[in-house]
């Protein structure tokens, strides 16, 4: 029953490889269908390569949600937010994770493997997946993001 599972694409660099693996296990245990685009070890890589892979898939609508990890989460969020239709939120606490869904309809969650621990990261993922977008005035606000490219 693959089509009934929430599909999610994840990726990290070496700095957050361990956290990605732990969150991957948590997502699978929670019944999700997880696509892991790498990295697959702690050998040094460039975070942009993995940020691009995940963001491309979310931007194209192949996956509704993605999760990215790097050391701080900063580089991955900078990469992800360059893609059309991607709204990536860097979260190191529960309030940001909830609000990134309620007000920003974030479709990529970004976390820093050198910033937060496993248990907090799991809680952030849980609330981020459970919290709905409020729509209304917030939809009108995020609609303006799509017009940015036309202004360039």
Least distance (Å) from ligand RB5 to the CB of residue 47? Answer: 5
Identify which of residues 47 and 63 has a Cβ nearer to ligand RB5 in the complex: 47
- What DSSP element (H or E) covers 122? helix 118-130
Residues 14-53, one symbol each (x = binds ligand RB5 by CB under 6 A, - = not), give -x-------------------------------x------
Least distance (Å) from ligand RB5 to the CB of residue 11? Answer: 12
Is 91 annotated in the active site? no
Q: Does 74 bind ligand RB5 (CB under 6 A)?
A: yes
Number of residues counted as binding ligand RB5 (CB under 6 A) = 8
Taking CA 107 as the corner, what is the angle to CA 112 and CA 20, rounded to the nearest 5 degrees?
A: 35
Place of tokens 């059309």: 84
Q: Does 71 bind ligand RB5 (CB under 6 A)?
A: yes
Burial of 79 per CB tally in 10 Å (0-12, 13-18, 19+): buried
Q: Could you please report the per-residue DSSP string of 20-59?
A: HHHHHHHHHHTT-EEEE----SSS---HHHHHHHHHHHHH
State the catalytic residues. Answer: 70, 103
Residues that bind ligand RB5 (CB under 6 A): 13, 15, 47, 70-72, 74-75
């Amino acid at each position: 029953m693959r089509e009934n599972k929430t599909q999610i694409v994840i990726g990290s660099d070496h700095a957050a490889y361990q956290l990605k693996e732990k969150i991957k296990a948590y997502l699978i245990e929670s019944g999700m269908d997880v696509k892991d685009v790498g990295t697959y070890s702690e050998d040094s890589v460039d975070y942009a390569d993995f940020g691009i892979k995940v963001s491309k898939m979310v931007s194209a609508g192949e996956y509704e949600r993605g999760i990215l990890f790097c050391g701080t989460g900063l580089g991955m969020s900078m990469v992800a937010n360059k893609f059309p239709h991607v709204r990536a939120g860097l979260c190191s606490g529960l309030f940001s994770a909830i609000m990134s869904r309620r007000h920003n309809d974030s479709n990529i969650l970004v976390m820093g493997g050198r910033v937060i621990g496993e248990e907090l990261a799991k809680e952030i993922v849980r609330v981020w997946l459970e919290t709905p977008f409020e729509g209304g005035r917030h939809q009108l606000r995020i609609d303006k993001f799509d017009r940015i490219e036309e202004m360039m």
